Structure 1
Amino acid sequence: MCPVFAGGKPERDTRSKWYLSETEWKDSVFPNYCTGWLYISTPRTANRLVKMAPTEDFLWIDDVWVTGYLAAAANIKHINLREYFTMMWEKAVMLKSAQNDEIYHNDIIASPTGRQREIAEVLTKNAERCFKAKCYNNIYKTKPADKESMAAQELLNRVLPTYLPL
């Protein structure tokens, strides 16, 4: 289980730190793979990946190699958690801070923090608050049927991209 990246292409610009030569990766796209920030696995699945590693060519981009290339070779299917993930800490703080027990919000379980301890502390504090209060969101409750909650979520979905690209 992870946020799945699909259709990723190898970087062919030699000036990039992510540059991959045709020798390192011949295909024009990567297999679907997980972000390194979040993936959840059972011990059995992890063991299958470990056993597959010595039989396959190594790729130094570990997210692509382990959760993409090795997973595909082991016939492991991803469960996409993309809706619970954002790559923008600003969006994560906004979403977590807006959570409450009355208005439905979509929640996330992971985001980067920009290596800022304060951001991590704010996210943790709000996650703990929501855990205790069982906030009205996609983690603790089912999607609402009432028009007011749905309208509030739709408004947030329209306004948020104005301030933060999704």
Structure 2
Amino acid sequence: RYCPQSKFIIKMDDDIVVNLYDFHDRLRYRYEDRKNLILGLMQMEAKPVRNKISKWYVGYDEFPGYFYASFMSGWAYAITKDAAVKIVDESFKRPYFWIDDVHITGTLAERTGVKREGLNGLYTLHVDHLYCCLELPGAADYRCDYMVGPAEGDMDIMIRVLDHARTCYMSHCHRRKPKESVAKTCIRAKVPPLAPLGKGEGEILKMF
């Protein structure tokens, strides 16, 4: 019904910074012919939280295992259409588990034989890395080292990163050398986190 010609579906949270230009090109030029695949920030050997005071508490009656199946962070991941169909079909045969990233890209993907590949080096867990992508000397001439990262409630950084990504997509910015990478050169003073954006709503959009 939605974009039947699409080869990939991208799931992303609305409070996460995602360079859609790099994501699009990576899928198009490196993974276009792949099938039965999920790409993203892979979480391996993650354990259920058994502390009852945590909002992520999972009882043994919900999940008796010691480790979750390897799964993708829900921040942003891409799944081939054939893999999505297999997972949806399998979901009707299995009990629902409320941590959807684990359930969909972990348990159901494993049961249906869907391959999962990590792009972990293109994700950052630190919003400071995104600021440094924009603020290091000569930053305007370089692509950001990261494709996905947290906004931590800062809409401004989301807009700035996307504007920079668009400019680089049009003007072919350089990539930093390993010794000049953001991870090795980024130093920023910590600032207080902003208030959360609140509950989001899912929406299906055509990217390109």
Q: Which TM-score bucket, shorter chain as reference?
A: 0.7 to 0.9
Greater per-residue strand proportion: 2
Which residue does 2:24 correspond to in 1? Answer: none
2:81 to 35, 43, 48: 43
- The counterpart of 2:184, out of the listed 151, 158, 161, is 158
> C-alpha displacement at 1:163, in angstroms?
6.8
- Note the 1:63-102 alignment, pairs <5 A: 63-98=101-136, 99-101=139-141
**3-state SS of the aligned residue for 1:56?**
coil
Q: TM-score, normalised by structure 1?
A: 0.79
Q: 1:130 aligns with which of 168, 190, 204?
A: 168
What TM-score do you get using the length of structure 2 for normalisation? 0.64
The CA distance in 2 between the partners of 1:127 and 1:69, in whole Å, is 34
Write the distance in 2 (CA, Å) between the matches of 1:161 and 1:25.
41
The one-character-per-residue Cα deviations of 1:34-68 (angstroms, maximum 9, x if unpaired) are 11111111211110110010112221000000000
Q: Using a 3 Å threshold, how does the CA distance of structure 1 residues 111 and 21 change in structure 2: closer, same or farther? A: same
Number of residues paired by the alignment? Answer: 150
Structure 2 alignment gaps of length 5 or more: 1-38, 191-208
Contact 1:93–1:122 (8 Å) recurs in 2: no
1:23 aligns with 2:32: no
Structure 1 position 95, deviation (Å): 2.3
**CA RMSD between the two structures:** 2.3
Per the alignment, in what secondary structure is the counterpart of residue 69 of structure 2? coil
In the alignment, what sits opposite 2:20?
A: none
